[in-house]
Amino acid sequence: MKALAVVGLAGCTASADVIGSVGSSGTLYRGRAVGYQDGTGSIDMTSADGARCTGQFRYQGISGGTARISCNDGKFGIVQFTSLGMASGYGYGTANDGSPISFTYGLSEEESKRYLPTTKAASAATPKKKASGSGSGFFVSQSGHILTNDHVIGDCAQRVVRLPDGAVVRAALVAADPRNDLAVVKVDRAAPAVAAFADAPTYRPGDSVTVFGFPLAPDLASTGVVTTGTVSALAGLDNDTANLQISAPIQPGNSGGPMSDASGAVIGVVVATLDSRQALKRIGHVPQNVNFAIKDVVAKDFLRSHNVPFLERKRGPDLSTGDIGEAMRNYTVLMACIND
């Protein structure tokens, strides 16, 4: 069933609260989205200072769709949105002046904070540079785009990539999304192989997953490490629907690496593990294999919003773990952040 749609007589509608942000100021807009049974709908939102944005949207399958937004200050743009539930979701896009457009629907203001830019006051704060470190990433385009986590590579003086053939090259930051912990960089050479995302979210609790990355570098194998597990839950910490909980073992350095389904299609980006020391203090015991990956639909929305090309494919027959790992090794890279 489509989000914002209802089952009933022809002509019935459903609506949801909308919270949005247009431009770089972090000013919030509030309003309503109204959806119709034919998969179309309208958005109307206004800021506290009277700026107004309106638009039309259309679902393209159950996972999300496209909205066209126009504002009375002259900004306009196209937003790709993702459904999180029957009547909730979020969207990202770029305005005609290059500034971001984003909105949520059917979420509280607290829930919306995950998907919307920070306010002016928060944006003005100057974060400290993080320490140098390493993680993983994977090629998503033949022209050299690499997807990873923002916490791996987003805030670095230099970004260095070790390619599957052992060559070490510098990478340029293309875009970063700290809130969803995603970043994309580009190297000045063609990809030796490119990951293909699943064309539709088909994961279920209990489905097999394979993870590839470069944990604990340089102490573990320089050729990368394969681990396997299952999808444990369709949400992460605090019921975060942007993440999957997985049982595949991960270590520091796995962050940003790909996670595939049993057919080898990428369905997630490895992001975090539950801190065992903090959990011991909080709940009194050490958790086992409680790890998380960002859902592929979130990653693809991020790439679309920044015009980064990527591949999708339909789920094929199940493959052996060895075959999946070999394919992942060809498109996964070691990422290094240098801030010394």
Q: State how far the Cα of 302 lies from the Cα of 91, in Å rounded to an integer.
A: 9
The answer to whether 132 is a known catalytic residue is no
Report the SS3 class of residue 335.
strand
C-alpha dihedral sign at 109, 274, 156, 187: negative
Tokens of 158: 């230099």
Q: State how far the Cα of 148 lies from the Cα of 35, in Å rounded to an integer.
A: 34
The answer to whether 145 is a known catalytic residue is no
238, with CB counted inside 10 A (0-12, 13-18, 19+), is exposed
Q: State how far the Cα of 188 lies from the Cα of 16, in Å rounded to an integer.
A: 44
The label of the residue with tokens 């997953």 reads: 209
Q: 237: which DSSP letter?
A: G
> Cα dist. 328→2, 202, 298, 333 in Å?
34, 20, 20, 10
Q: State how far the Cα of 135 lies from the Cα of 131, in Å rounded to an integer.
A: 13
| Beta strand 311-313 pairing with 196-198 | parallel
Tell me the DSSP string of 108-119. Answer: -HHHHTTTSPPP
Cβ–Cβ under 8 Å, residues 183 and 150 = yes
**Is the preceding omega at residue 127 within 30 degrees of 0, hence cis?**
no
The answer to whether 306 is a known catalytic residue is no
Q: Which of 134, 150, 151, 177 is catalytic?
A: 151
Q: State how far the Cα of 162 lies from the Cα of 136, in Å rounded to an integer.
A: 10
Q: Which of 181, 261, 296, 301 is catalytic?
A: 181
Q: Which of 102, 134, 255, 263 is catalytic?
A: 255
Phi/psi of residue 327, nearest 5 degrees: -65, -40
Q: Name the nearest CA neighbour of 150 among 291, 256, 24.
A: 256
Residues that are catalytic = 151, 181, 255
